[in-house]
Structure 1
Amino acid sequence: MVATLHRAGALVGLAGAAVFAGCSAPANDGDAAESYADGTYTADGSYATPESVETISVTLTLADGVVTEVAVEGDPQLPESESFQSAFIGGISDEVVGAPIDELSVSRVAGSSLTSGGFNEAIEAIKADAAG
Structure 2
Amino acid sequence: MRRTARTAVLTAAASAALFTAACGSEAERVEPTTAPSSPADSADGAESGSFTPGDYEATGSYQTPGGTQSVDVDLTLEADGTITDLDVDGNAEGGNSEQFQGKFESGIDAEVVGKKITELDVSKVSGSSLTSGGFNDAIAQITDDARA
2:144 equivalent in structure 1: 128
Does structure 2 conserve the Cα–Cα contact (< 8 Å) formed by 1:66 and 1:99?
Answer: yes
**How many correspondences in the alignment?**
104
The Cα of 1:34 is off from its aligned counterpart by 4.3
The question of whether the paired residues in 2 share the 8 Å contact of 1:54 and 1:77 is answered with no
Match of 1:31 in 2: 45
Structure 1 gaps of 5+ residues are 1-28
Identity %: 49
Aligned to 1:43: 58
Superposition pairs for residues 44-83 of structure 1, below 5 Å?
A: 44-63=59-78, 64-83=80-99
What is the rounded CA distance, in whole Å, between the counterparts of 1:124 and 1:30 in structure 2? 16
CA distance in 1 between partners of 2:123 and 2:106 (Å)? 15
Do 1:52 and 1:77's aligned partners in 2 also have CA atoms closer than 8 Å?
A: no
Q: Where does the alignment leave 5 or more consecutive residues of structure 2 unmatched? A: 1-42
The CA RMSD measured in Å over matched residues stands at: 1.5
> What TM-score comes out, normalization by structure 1 length?
0.74
Shift in alpha-carbon separation, 1:30–1:92, aligned structure 2, 3 A: closer
Displaced runs of 4+ in structure 1, greater than 2 A? 29-34
Give the structure, 1 or 2, with the largest relative contact order (CA under 8 Å, sep 6 or more): 2
**1:58 alignment partner AA:** V
